[in-house]
Amino acid sequence: MNKTVIGVLASGRGSNLQAIVDAIEAGRLNAKIGAVISDNPEANVLKRMTAADIPTLCIDRRQFVSRHEFEAAVAEELNIRHVELVVLAGFMRILTAYFIDRFAGKIMNIHPALLPAFPGENAQQQAVDYGAKVSGCTVHFVDEGMDTGPIILQEAVPVLEDDTAETLSDRILHAEHILYPRALALYCEGRLKVEGRRVRIIETE
Ligand code: GAR
């Protein structure tokens, strides 16, 4: 089967992207990274991927007068590289309807909580502050809402009595690194079927 070309948008550390790269190298994910784009020139993800010989690109939001122009530039780079699936991996910008329409049904995100609980920023702090006993992570398709798109996979993680946002984040991150490559592999194998809000996983024989 052909490899799916993925384009990754990331703003920071890049540990989820590293897990994706590792899954590709281990043969667990039949994909090829067409581009890694960061909106932040200082992002560690750029250094990390350049060291790993993965094509990286910085598109600095500050160079554009509007969100629309910024997103058009990102979309253009993804199209030039024939990207088939856009993967948000710690991308800290909200995408507008314009970008989401251009890649309709072809954008995935990972969020560090069990959606629909604790959407938006600082999800781990929200879980600690709320006194939740369980949190986790969610991989979902992106729609126009804030972390509201159809859910693909979720993994629960306990919230311990002494947890801070940092200790809970570490525990969730460990689960993220397993969950995201698994969700991507399902997509690349053509095993995800979206029916309204529900994402069905097609069994293999
Ligand atoms: C991850 O915990 C991811 O779930 C979160 O940012 C972190 C990125 O880490 N994403 C969001 O909060 C998106 N709303 P990484 O750069 O090491 O992959």
* Per-residue pLDDT reduced to its tens digit, 71-92: 999 999 999 999 999 999 999 8
| Mean pLDDT score across all residues of the chain | 96
Handedness of CA 176, 177, 181, 182 (dihedral sign): negative
Kindly state if the Cβ of 49 falls inside 6 Å of ligand 1.
no
Could you give the angle at the alpha carbon of 147 between the alpha carbons of 118 and 199, nearest 5°?
Answer: 115
Reference 111, options 65, 76, 154; nearest CA is 154
CATH of 110-205, one of 1.10.287.3510, 3.40.50.170, 3.40.50.720, 3.40.50.1100: 3.40.50.170
Kindly state if the Cβ of 110 falls inside 6 Å of ligand 1.
yes
- Tell me: domain 1-104, CATH 3.40.50.170, correct? yes
Distance CA 57, CA 38 (A): 6
Q: Are strands 85-88 and 4-10 parallel, antiparallel or unpaired?
A: parallel
Kindly state if the Cβ of 176 falls inside 6 Å of ligand 1.
yes
pLDDT exceeding 90 applies to what percent of the chain? Answer: 92
Model's pTM, two decimal places? 0.96
Query: Which sequence positions are flagged as catalytic?
Result: 111
The rounded Å distance from CA 54 to ligand 1 centre is: 20
Domain boundary assignment for the chain: 1-104, 110-205
1-104 matches 110-205 in fold: yes
The stretch 117-124 carries a mean pLDDT of 97
The rounded Å distance from CA 112 to ligand 1 centre is: 7
Reference 88, options 10, 171, 202; nearest CA is 10
Distance CA 133, CA 161 (A): 8
